[in-house]
């Protein structure tokens, strides 16, 4: 495959992207969270090509994106709780794991053979325009190689995947910057927060009551976004740093800026976790490229999008798998 073209997002580019997706090709597109890499969810061949491009392990299921609630009828059953969440948070950065209809026209590769399917209606106008044009469910994991930092600009997608995909739609940086919140509703009495993300826990708990934590050895699908090492830059990452070494790139926050780093990036000089989320992945990449030997990050408050930031940083800092067990 030749190098992917990058088109700035206008109606012609959207129409072309929809044609490519209908033909089984791979298109990266912006969502309000991060850039996704899209493929026709109904096609085994398209989904297999997507997993190959990302080098994503086949046991990691993907999120199916649709243009609106109505498109889910053939795919999944929504109970009253799911309907309420859908009405409140879609379009938006919330993914629901729901019982999959047995005859759902979705490749079993997209759902890793599970009896559930993860679905979301994204809020980005370009993502919605593309989904409306293509009129197919589109599987779209983040547009990075498996295990790496998610892209929040078209340039970041190109740096990782240009040689492996057909087209990149460019609409500038993603407004939220961390992935969607994933809630498992497949056991109606026990909603589980599988991944903190763009919808803060407190907003969901207003609707659902307290969210359960995933049980480690539960006989439920593993959600590999929760694997220890994930969202990882190349350099080692050290958390909760209150002092910094001269060979470290520092990610600071607010007025917490220990002195003496090789280079310092402030996630949010004003101490705003929403701004920090938006800048997190771009600054992790900048720190990675800076020439430092390690990345040190100051403590980030847990409220609002802070929970998602802390989750991603914890995974970025986790021990890396040996190449042989790398996912
Ligand atoms: O914000 C987002 O969600 C982005 C944009 C592109 O929409 N997408 C994204 O997809 O982050 P991905 O594939 O990188 O993450 C999907 C997460 C993974 O943690 C996966 O394990 C989990 O959702 N997941 C998908 N299907 C599941 C299922 N049936 N059961 C449990 N977890 C599931
Ligand atoms: Mg991902």
Looking at residue 327, its pLDDT comes to: 42
**Pocket, ligand 1, Cβ cutoff 6 A:** 31, 33-34, 36, 60-63, 93, 95, 97, 111, 114, 116-118, 120, 122, 140-142, 179-180, 182, 184, 194-195, 221, 223-225
Q: Band of the pLDDT at 230, cuts 50, 70, 90?
A: confident
Structure pTM?
A: 0.95
Q: Does a structural domain hold residue 213?
A: no
CA distance 144 to 199: 22
Nearest ligand to the CA atom of 60: 1
Q: Does a structural domain hold residue 224?
A: no
Ligand 1: distance of its center to the CA of 140 in Å? 8
Same domain, 47 and 151: yes
Same domain, 69 and 162: yes
Question: Of 208, 227, 251, which one is at a domain's C-terminal end?
Answer: 208
Residue pair 101/76 in contact (Cβ under 8 Å)? The answer is yes
Looking at residue 218, its pLDDT comes to: 46
Q: Does a structural domain hold residue 244?
A: yes
Mean pLDDT along residues 225-243: 84
Same domain, 251 and 160: no
Residue pair 255/242 in contact (Cβ under 8 Å)? The answer is no
Q: Does a structural domain hold residue 129?
A: yes
Nearest ligand to the CA atom of 61: 1
Distances (CA, A) of 106 to 63, 145, 190, 288: 11, 23, 26, 37
Same domain, 278 and 161: no
Write the CATH number for 172: 3.90.870.10
Ligand 1: distance of its center to the CA of 72 in Å? 17
Question: Of 155, 187, 208, which one is at a domain's C-terminal end?
Answer: 208
Distances (CA, A) of 33 to 95, 142, 153, 174, 199: 12, 9, 11, 6, 10
Same domain, 158 and 246: no
Looking at residue 222, its pLDDT comes to: 52
Ligand 1 nearest-atom number relative to CA 65? 7
Nearest ligand to the CA atom of 33: 1
Ligand 1: distance of its center to the CA of 268 in Å? 27
Mean pLDDT score across all residues of the chain: 93
Strands ordered across the beta sheet of 35-40:
5-8, 167-170, 27-30, 35-40, 138-139, 63-65, 116-120, 94-99, 181-184, 192-195
Same domain, 242 and 204: no
Looking at residue 153, its pLDDT comes to: 98
CA distance 143 to 126: 16
Ligand 2: distance of its center to the CA of 144 in Å? 7
Nearest ligand to the CA atom of 139: 1
Q: Does a structural domain hold residue 229?
A: no
Question: 244-253 pLDDT, tens per residue?
Answer: 999 999 999 9
Number of domains in the chain: 2
Ligand 1: distance of its center to the CA of 194 in Å? 9
Q: Does a structural domain hold residue 222?
A: no
Q: Does a structural domain hold residue 87?
A: yes
pLDDT > 90 in the chain, percent: 88
Residues paired with residue 256 on neighbouring β-strands, in sequence order: 253
CA distance 237 to 234: 9
Ligand 2: distance of its center to the CA of 140 in Å? 9
Strand pairing category for 35-40 and 138-139: antiparallel
Write the CATH number for 285: 3.40.50.11030
Question: Of 208, 224, 249, which one is at a domain's C-terminal end?
Answer: 208
Same domain, 175 and 261: no
Cα Rg of the chain, angstroms: 19
Question: 120-176 pLDDT, tens per residue?
Answer: 999 999 999 999 999 999 999 999 999 999 999 999 999 999 999 999 999 999 999
Question: 291-327 pLDDT, tens per residue?
Answer: 999 999 999 999 999 999 999 999 999 987 655 444 4
Q: Nearest C-alpha to atom 10 of ligand 1 is from which residue?
A: 141
Same domain, 261 and 302: yes
Residue pair 305/198 in contact (Cβ under 8 Å)? The answer is yes
Ligand 1 nearest-atom number relative to CA 226? 19
> Structural domain of residue 243, as residue ranges?
237-325
Same domain, 159 and 20: yes
Same domain, 297 and 162: no
Looking at residue 69, its pLDDT comes to: 95
Same domain, 288 and 169: no
Q: Does a structural domain hold residue 60?
A: yes
Same domain, 243 and 201: no
CA distance 208 to 225: 22
pLDDT at 223 over 90: no
Lowest mean pLDDT among 2-11, 29-38, 184-193: 2-11
Mean pLDDT along residues 29-46: 98
295 three-class SS = strand
Strand pairing category for 167-170 and 94-99: unpaired
């Amino acid at each position: 495959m030749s190098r992917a073209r990058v088109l700035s997002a206008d109606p012609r580019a959207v129409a072309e992207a929809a044609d490519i997706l209908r033909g089984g090709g791979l298109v990266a597109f912006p969502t309000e969270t991060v850039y996704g890499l899209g493929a026709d969810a109904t096609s085994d061949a398209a989904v297999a090509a997507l997993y190959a491009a990302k080098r994503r392990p086949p046991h990691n299921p993907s999120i199916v994106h649709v243009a609106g609630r109505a498109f889910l009828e053939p795919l999944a059953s929504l109970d009253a709780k799911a309907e309420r969440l859908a009405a409140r948070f879609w379009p938006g950065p919330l993914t629901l794991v729901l019982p999959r209809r047995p005859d759902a026209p979705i490749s079993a590769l997209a759902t890793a053979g599970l009896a559930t399917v993860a679905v979301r209606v994204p809020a980005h106008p370009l993502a919605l325009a593309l989904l409306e044009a293509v009129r197919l469910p589109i599987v779209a994991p983040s547009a990075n190689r498996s295990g790496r930092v998610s892209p929040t600009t078209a340039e970041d997608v190109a740096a990782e995947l240009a040689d492996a995909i057909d087209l990149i739609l460019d609409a500038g940086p993603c407004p939220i910057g961390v992935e969607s919140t994933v809630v498992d509703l497949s056991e109606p009495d026990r909603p589980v927060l599988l991944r903190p993300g763009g919808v803060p826990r407190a907003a969901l708990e207003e609707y659902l009551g307290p969210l359960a934590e995933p049980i480690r050895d539960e006989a439920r699908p593993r959600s590999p976004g929760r694997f220890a090492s994930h969202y990882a830059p190349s350099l080692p990452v050290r958390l909760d740093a209150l002092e910094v070494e001269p060979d470290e790139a520092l990610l600071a926050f607010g007025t917490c800026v220990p002195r003496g780093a090789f280079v310092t990036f402030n996630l949010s000089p004003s101490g705003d976790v929403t701004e920090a989320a938006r800048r997190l992945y771009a600054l992790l990449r900048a720190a990675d490229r800076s020439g430092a030997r390690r990345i040190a990050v100051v403590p980030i408050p847990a409220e609002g999008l802070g929970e998602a930031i802390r989750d991603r940083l914890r995974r970025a800092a986790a021990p890396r798998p040996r190449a042989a067990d790398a996912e």
